[in-house]
Structure 1
Amino acid sequence: MPTTVILGVIGSDAHVVGITILDQALSAAGFDVENLGVQTSQEEFAAAASEHDADAVLVSSLYGHAEQDCQGFHELLAREDIDATTYIGGNLAVGQDDFEQTRTTFRTLGFDRVFDSETTPEEVIRSLERDLGISTREAETDRVQA
């Protein structure tokens, strides 16, 4: 069964470059990517994760208001009985000076991993492999067999 990742930009954020790069890198690594695009609501993320039986949900935000956009997100996922690994990355806070503080904020909100805007797609792929217990080779094999 392919490893399915839901990807999108949450809230009112309209920055598309990061998820486009991630979509291409994740797809090339063998993941089944459902790219929701920009300005995606929490409910759209939850519906897609449920519909595609997602292994992971990757949330991107660049405009600095992710904390507000993500309030209650993990509670929604729990209500919908979605048990997926969750990542968030980008420029998550306006005037973000201390990323460790930002990381703590988003871990407290329930995210499994929190990435800054300098994170490479390869770092995300390696983290997914570790967190989901797969290797890129397994992901590629899953995609060929699908």
Structure 2
Amino acid sequence: MTKTVILGVIGSDAHVVGITILERAFEAAGFDVVNLGVQTSQEEFVDAATEADAEAVLVSSLYGHAKQDCQGFHERLVDAGLEDVTTYIGGNLAVGQDDFDETRRFFRSLGFDRVFDSETDPEEAIAALRADLDMRSSEAEQESHTVRA
């Protein structure tokens, strides 16, 4: 079964090259990609994930203001019943970002499952998503096969 991912650039960011590369890479890897484009609001991500019954939401940001743009994002997903959707964020996420481990911790605290820097090869993100979605599917399958006394 094809997995659907929502991809877009959050906030006022207008950097399109990265998501175009990601769209092509994820499609070539067999994913069904809904590319929301640039300057995408949190609401547009949530609406698209709901409409497409997406397994993952991939957020991109290169202009350095993702910390502000992503505040409350996971709360919106939960409010829409999308708490099980896998979420990734990547790019140049913070202005003056010196310590990416600190940036990663910040975005993980916001609820993102994985956080990638702007130098991440798309194949790394694809491999991570395959592993994360397979793990989630395996857990769901195991639960459905559990015998209850």
With normalisation by structure 1, the TM-score equals 0.90
| Dislocated runs of 4+, deviation >4 Å | none
* Equivalent-residue separation in structure 2 for 1:22 and 1:100 (angstroms): 23
Q: Which residue of 2 aligns with 1:35?
A: 35
1:36 Cα deviation from its structure 2 partner: 0.1
- In structure 1, what is the Cα distance between the partners aligned to 2:62 and 2:29? 24
Q: Secondary structure at the match of 1:2?
A: coil
Aligned to 2:55: 55
- Give the SS at the match of 2:81: coil
Deviation track 1:33-86 (CA, whole Å, cap 9, x = no partner) reads: 000000000000000000000000000000000010000000000000012100
Does 2:64 align with 1:91? no
The residue number in structure 2 matching 1:115 is 116
- State the number of aligned residues: 134
Give the residue type in structure 2 aligned to 1:17: V
How far apart, in 1, do the equivalents of 2:17 and 2:96 lie? Answer: 21
Name which one, 1 or 2, has greater alpha-carbon Rg: 2
Does residue 133 of the first structure (1) align with residue 134 of the second (2)? yes
Inter-partner Cα distance in structure 2 for 1:8 and 1:16: 9
Unaligned runs of 5+ in 1: 135-146
Within 1, Cα distance between the matches of 2:130 and 2:29? 10
Shift of 1:4: 0.2
2:65 and 2:122 map into 1 onto residues whose CA distance is 22
Match of 1:100 in 2: 101
Q: CA deviation at 1:2?
A: 1.6
The normalised TM-score by structure 2 is 0.89
- Structure 2 gaps of 5+ residues are 136-149
Task: Write the distance in 1 (CA, Å) between the matches of 2:52 and 2:85.
Answer: 11
